[in-house]
Every structure is written in structure tokens, then in C-alpha cells.
A and B are shown apart, each in its own frame.
Chain A
């Protein structure tokens, strides 16, 4: 007799769909009744409350479905087709858990789980603003219905294996059998799915003509947390690509990578421009469209990678769910457009721009550049489709295209990262500009001169290295300027606090940060971006060598010498492995031993490389076991020397810390009024005639 768990999971999904439909219909009806003052047999408030409770129930139902699928994975229930395709008996338990999101159906279940999870938290916190939360809850219920309908009718995770149930499954894709794969997809999905919450609030606030900017304050944390998840998710994906795919890089401008990058760009633009609405009542229409766009891009990205519209090395196979996503995207766009035009009078700016040189203008430019970057990446991703339509043949849009087009935009953005915080709100005086910009400009020119004197001469590089080294020179120089700008701004404030309170500079800096954790959290994020860009620029100086290595053979790259000690084979229940043992020397000093591997997974009959990485602050030694020469049976080893890669991960960690600092609840009340009263009033001086 088959185990009842798949039936239970299947029923839970159907129940979740019904509860979501009720939440949507009853909630919408209650809101209409409240708005028009309709008299119902049951009061509109009670009806809305039943809708809310049904929404809470939908999360429990999806949770049950997710547990049922994980249960099936852990009990090796290969009667479930999805488990048969993505798991096997010998698979490590952690990867059995991650089988939940390893395939199309499971990842859609994860999406539904997270959507209902976010909505669950929102519905629990409804007392913050009952009416606004009711609108947001109804909109989220509509999104839930879409994903649950997909799971019930188009991509069923509990569909049963046809014919004889096999004794073992096909196993998980070897590329996904890596510790980061257990957290990378959930992080990315938390980011993707999370944008549905600010989207729901924005659309709800617009529908109900919500007065003031309170909805933005309510959603600020949601948006920041979501942005943080997406940032971490993308970074983990980069690290996974670096450590697992074995090509020495971390970003290949693959459509799947681009799909995750697009909403990140618009969300970053939103996080900046939303400050203008919150503080100055400006750019309301722009902000509403930014958050609409961000949400639509998450859906578009999913459509692109799951419909087969664009080809990708790690996109899901072509399937019919692309039509579902297209329809959903059209509906969302139509609803947003209709609501916007109907309520646009509600979105008039309260203030006008007062000066060309101001923080507001810099935010406008920052938004513009981020959107141009977004357009460029989207255009590049879709160009093969466009080319096929116009010319009848597809083209490849690889790294050479994106690096040439997107990198200059990125460098311009990096420059704005330093310029923006130096400009005052409302207006910046000429004197203030002179005072604030001298040091950063000197840092840019000085660092460029030092780098060139140290031997960085892009013009003497080979033709394929010229562009990269030129960009690297510009990137390091601008980075130095931005870092100087941030540091000078911070020290200026800390110095004022130190003068007034008598504390030392470190304690004053801490007081300053705690007094306005949001501002200095933002500065920390900008600093993290500088570090990250420096790490990316390091790729211009990558070196690589490939050699067939027998016992005692050596390979020299940079200052490192690798000596082959041995090469052998091993096997376990899950895979056979072929690996080399290499001693690494720097000069005469032995640094470490590295064991690059090539594995052959028995269940899936596929092979995968296990890269050995020796990481230092300045460079990574990256070693790949490519395989054996069939004639000599000796291993072929490829070695990369990648400078500054660890700066990328350090940059992400700093961005993470900065965002967490900005997220902390207001710390100002904890500090003395005295400390707060002595803050530098650069802006105050500038608007009052400085």
C-alpha cells in the first residue's frame, strides 16, 4: 500500500489554494463594502477578519505540503516522481532537504511557502494599520493564488511515478551537491518573493489613497531585509559558481544570473529614491513604479529562465509554465497601470527641487544610472530573441558584450556612490562643494598616478587585457576617491562630536554611528560596494596555466610553485573520485597542500569538478583537476591565480553589516540629548547661506 504522505501533501496544496481564494474574494468584498458603506448580513469587518484567518491558514497548509515533500525525500519515497528525479538513497541528508528546491516543482513550492510565510507575518501584524494591511493581504492572496494554481494544475510536486517504482532515484545534480546550495536558493527566493510585500503595500496604499508616507515607513524594513536577502543570495550564487563550476570566474552574465540582478538594480534605486519621498514628499509616482517594476522583474526573470525563451546553462528545462507567467505578468502590469492612472492625482509631489546641485539631484542621477544598467542587462539578455526575430538567427551575448557595455555604467555608479553623500539636501553651496570634494578628487588623481608609477600601464597590455586593465585603473582610482569621501565625512562628524563631548575619536565615531545608524549604515554599505568593486577589478590581472603533471612534476605561476605528490582514486556509495595531491610552495617555504578532485556520481552518471582553493587577502590560488590524459593516465591540472577575489566576499560582508546597522531600531533615544545636539549641521549651514 503506498504511503499516504504524497496524498496528504497534494491535499494540503489544494486546501491552500482554496483558502487563498477565500482570502482574496472575501477580503476584496469586505474592503469594497467598507469603502462604499454597503450593509451586509455579516459586518464587513468580520468578513475581513475571516479572510485574514483564512490567509493565516493558507500558510499552515503550504507548510504541511513542504513537510510532506521533505518527508518523501528523507524516506526515499520514489513513488513521488519529483523525489525519484532529484534524490537517491545514498544522498547526504542535507542535500535531501535541499531537494525541495532542486527542481521546477519543488522550487515553485518553496516560492509559495515563502509568499504565504511573508503574508503570514504581515497578517499577524495587522494591528499596525488594519485597513492598509487588509489591502496588502488581499493583494498577496492574489499572488498566492497564482503560485498555488501552478502547483495544483501545471507543476505538481506530488505527481506519482508511472509504471514500476524504481529501487533508487536519479540523484541530485552533482553541481548542486555543495554546502552553499543548501542556503543559496532559499536566500535568493527570500529576496525574490520578499518584494511582493512592498509591492502589495504600494499597490494597496495607492488603491486606498493612503494619506501621507506612513506606508513607506511600514515597508522600509521589509524592503531593506528583502534587498539584503537578495544581495546575499546573489553573492552566494557567485561564490558557488566560483567554487563549483571550475572555470575560475564567479559571474558569467548567464540569463539566470541576469534575472536575479535585474530586480536588485531597481530595488537599489527604490531604496535611494524612497528617501526623497519619506523626507521631502517628492518622487511619489517614480517610487510607486520602481516597486511595481521590481516585482514585475522578479516575475519576468522567472519567466525567462523557466520558459525556455532564453537559453542558459542552468535554466530549467523548457516547459508550459511560461504561458502562466506571461499571463500573470500581463495581469499585474494591467492592474498597476489602471490603478496608477485612476489614482495618480494622489501622487503629487509636496516639494519641488530647489537647486540643481543637491542630494535630490544626485538621487535622481543614481536612479537613472541604476535603471539604465537594468535596461542594458535586460536588453542584452533578450537580444538573442530579438535577433532571431529580426535576422532569423540567434546570437550569443556573452561576457565580452556585458563587460564592455555594463562595466562603464557600473563605474559611473561607483562614482555617484561617493558624490551623493557629499551633497546636501535642498541645496549645496559652492563653498561646501569645494570643501567636500577637494580630498576625494586628490585621492582619485593621486591613486591613479601611484598605480601608473607602480607599473599599471593598460596601454602596454595585450589587446584582450587592455580594456580590463583600463577599467581596473579607473575602478581603483574612483574607489580610492569614494573611500576618502566616506572616511572624511565620517571623521568630520566624529571630530565635531569629540570637540563637544571630550571623548576620543573612536568613541565619538561610535556615538555618531549610533546617533544616526541609518545614515552611517548606508555609508558602510557604500564602503562595502567600494571593496567589492576593487575585488571585481582584480579580475583584470588573472593568470592561468594548464599542465599534465606526473609524480614530482611542478608548475610555477606567479610566486607559487605546485609540486605533484601523487594522484589516485577512491569511491563511496554516492560517487567515485579521482584526485591529485599537490604541495604548494612560495619560495622555499611550503604553504599548504591542495587536493583538486573530479567526481563521478553513480546515481546520476554525471561528473563534477571539486576545485581546491587557497585563499589569501591578496590572491586566490585556484586549482582544478581537469581529468586524466587517456594516453599517459596522468592528471591534467589547471591553475588560476586570481587577485583580490576575497575582497568581493569581504565587500559583501561589509554590505551585510551596513544594512543590518541601518535596520536596527532607532538608537537615538538611548543616547544623551547632548550628543545629539552637537551634530554637525553641514546641511543646515548650506541652506542658510554657507
Chain B
């Protein structure tokens, strides 16, 4: 009976989650805005193309116009990016997305993060293992915590 109830609760949680995730879902992709936010203005301000707010900026108005034309022309995202890169150079892209060596920018931090997590977990297990080996019977070398001296030591070691 308890198992059945548990299953029912799990099913309801799953249903609730699916319902929440799908409520309001819909395709509202704005290609112009999406691409415009992945490029920078080439005037030297270093700002995202659609956020460049320099009045009299020699580049942003023209670039935004070009982007509008390209999006209206119906090209794919990649073809539009390629067109801008060919015209303004690779620095027009706000992040490296051309493939090849550019992929290293995305992969290296993730690999380092995973390696560091796995490495630390391994290190902790190894240290822990050594400690257990050093103590006969594998128990921590913690004396009975009743004496004042031990209480003082623990308090000192754990006060923050």
C-alpha cells in the first residue's frame, strides 16, 4: 500500500513538472535579435551590435541595416555570420563560433572543470583512504569526547 502511494506521489510530481515545463511554451524566436546579440559593433566600443548606443557611431546603423536585409533575405544564421565575418573580420563575432580552433574556447573550460572535479574527488578519497589505513581497524583516531581537554580541542578546531 505504501509502495503504491509512493509511486502515485512520484507520478504526480512528474506530471506536475511536465505541465510546468510545457505551460506557455511556444516558438517566439526572433532571428534578427538573436543574431544581432551575437555580434559586436566594429566602432571600437566593444558593445553588442544591437546595444551600441553611440549617436553618430559610424558603424552600428549601417551594420544593423545590413543585418536587417540579410535576415529579410532568408539566409541561414551561419550564412549571415559568414557574410559579416567576410566583410568585417572575425572580431565582429561576440564569441568564437566559427568552428575549428574556436571550439577550444568552449571546450577547454569545461574539460578543466570536469577534470578538476574528478581530480578533487579522487584526491579526497585517496587522502581518506590513507587516513583509514593509518588507524588500526579503520576507525578515526577520535578519543572519547567527554573530557574537557577533548571538548576544548574540538571547539578550537571547529569554531568557524
Chain A residues within CB distance 8 Å of chain B: 246-248, 252, 254, 275, 279-280, 312-313, 352-356, 359, 361, 364-365, 368-369, 371-372, 375-376, 379-380, 383, 387, 390-391, 393-401, 404-405, 409, 424-427, 449, 452-453, 455, 457, 459-464, 516, 518-519, 522, 598, 624, 626-628, 636, 638, 679, 681, 683-684, 687-688
Contacts and interface: CB of A to CB of B under 8 A. Distances in A.
B80 to A, nearest CB: 14
Contacts of A459: 21-22, 24-25
A187 B44 CA distance: 28
Contacts, number: 191
Interface string B142-157: 1011000001001111
Contact of A391 (B23, B37, B101, B130): B101
B20 A687 contact: no
A398 B48 contact: yes
A271 B159 CA distance: 15
A352 B96 contact: no
9 shortest interchain CB distances as A-B pairs = A627-B55, A688-B145, A519-B160, A401-B95, A398-B94, A352-B131, A683-B158, A353-B127, A460-B24
B112 A375 contact: yes
Given A394-B91, A688-B145, A636 B125 contact: no
Nearest to B105: A383
B101 A405 contact: no
Interface of B: 20-26, 28-30, 33-34, 37-38, 40, 44-48, 51, 53, 55-56, 89-96, 98, 100-102, 104-106, 108-110, 112-113, 116-117, 120, 123-125, 127-128, 130-131, 134, 140, 142, 144-145, 151, 154-160
A457 B92 CA distance: 31
A524 to B, nearest CB: 13
Nearest to B110: A405
Contacts of A624: 53
A462 B94 contact: no
A398 B105 contact: no
Contact of B93 (A395, A426, A449): A395
B96 A687 contact: no
A684 B98 CA distance: 56
Given A248-B51, A365-B120, A405-B109, A279 B101 contact: no
Contact of B101 (A390, A427, A457): A390
B63 to A, nearest CB: 14
Contacts of A356: 124-125, 128
Nearest to A282: B127
Contact of A400 (B37, B47, B120, B131): B37
A252 B144 CA distance: 55
Contact of B30 (A457, A462, A627): A462
Given A387-B101, A457-B24, A683-B158, A368 B38 contact: no
A391 B46 CA distance: 21
The winner among A390, A463, A628, A683 for most chain B CB atoms within 10 A is: A463
Contacts of A518: 159-160
Contact of B46 (A254, A369, A409, A453): A254
A353 B131 CA distance: 7
B105 A516 contact: no
A462 B109 contact: no
Given A352-B130, A460-B24, A626-B55, A372 B116 contact: yes
